[in-house]
């Protein structure tokens, strides 16, 4: 039952945070829900009027770039949170599985030792003893 609850929680969190998730491709991340990054304006200094128009374009561009930047940061933070939560949930599942198998090994060993009290005790094969894994 615990695995079902973890899966449902993981799925809900993933769905909540991947609505506008960024894209990771070949080691490069980019925002996917922010539109196209505003194109940098060109400064025209051929005349005072042209230069003033360029400054106006730069002012408008800076506002657009701030909106794009804020959106990108929001997506990056959401992706980071989703990755962190998914990794933590995965670690929890691994720990539960390891604890369960360790408990089964201990119970099995105790059962065998009790049924063979006259026999020599069990010894693990060379290497790590079953049930000794911890993460």
Report pTM.
Answer: 0.60
Residues 55 and 41: their CA atoms lie apart, in Å, by 9
Question: CB neighbours (10 Å) of residue 17?
Answer: 19
Residues 131 and 99: their CA atoms lie apart, in Å, by 8
With vertex at residue 105, the alpha carbon angle to CA 99 and CA 107, rounded to the nearest 5 degrees, is 100
pLDDT score recorded for residue 24 = 87
pLDDT score recorded for residue 18 = 47
pLDDT score recorded for residue 78 = 94
pLDDT score recorded for residue 116 = 82
pLDDT score recorded for residue 126 = 63
pLDDT score recorded for residue 17 = 46
Domains of the chain, residue spans: 2-91
Q: Please say if the pLDDT value at position 121 is more than 80.
A: no
**Helix 2-17 with 48-115: angle, nearest 10 deg:** 180
Closest-CA residue to 35 (of 64, 77, 76): 64
Higher pLDDT among residues 75 and 3, named by residue: 75
For the residues 9-24, what does the mean pLDDT come to?
A: 60
Q: What is the pLDDT of residues 67-115, one digit of tens each?
A: 999 999 999 999 999 999 999 999 999 999 999 999 999 999 999 988 8
Q: What is the pLDDT of residues 21-61, one digit of tens each?
A: 889 889 899 999 999 999 999 999 999 999 999 999 999 99
């Amino acid at each position: 039952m615990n695995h079902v609850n973890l899966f449902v929680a993981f799925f809900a969190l993933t769905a909540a945070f991947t609505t506008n998730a960024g894209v990771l491709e070949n080691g490069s991340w980019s925002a996917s829900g922010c539109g196209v990054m505003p194109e940098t304006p060109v400064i025209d200094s051929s005349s005072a009027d042209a230069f003033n128009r360029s400054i106006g374009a730069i002012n408008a561009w800076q506002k657009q770039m701030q909106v794009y930047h804020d959106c990108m940061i929001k997506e990056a933070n959401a992706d980071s949170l989703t990755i962190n939560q998914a990794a933590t949930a995965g670690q929890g599942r691994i720990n539960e599985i390891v604890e369960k198998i360790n408990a089964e090994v201990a119970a099995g060993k105790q059962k065998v030792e009790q049924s063979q009290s006259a026999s020599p005790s069990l010894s693990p094969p060379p290497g790590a003893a079953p049930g000794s894994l911890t993460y």
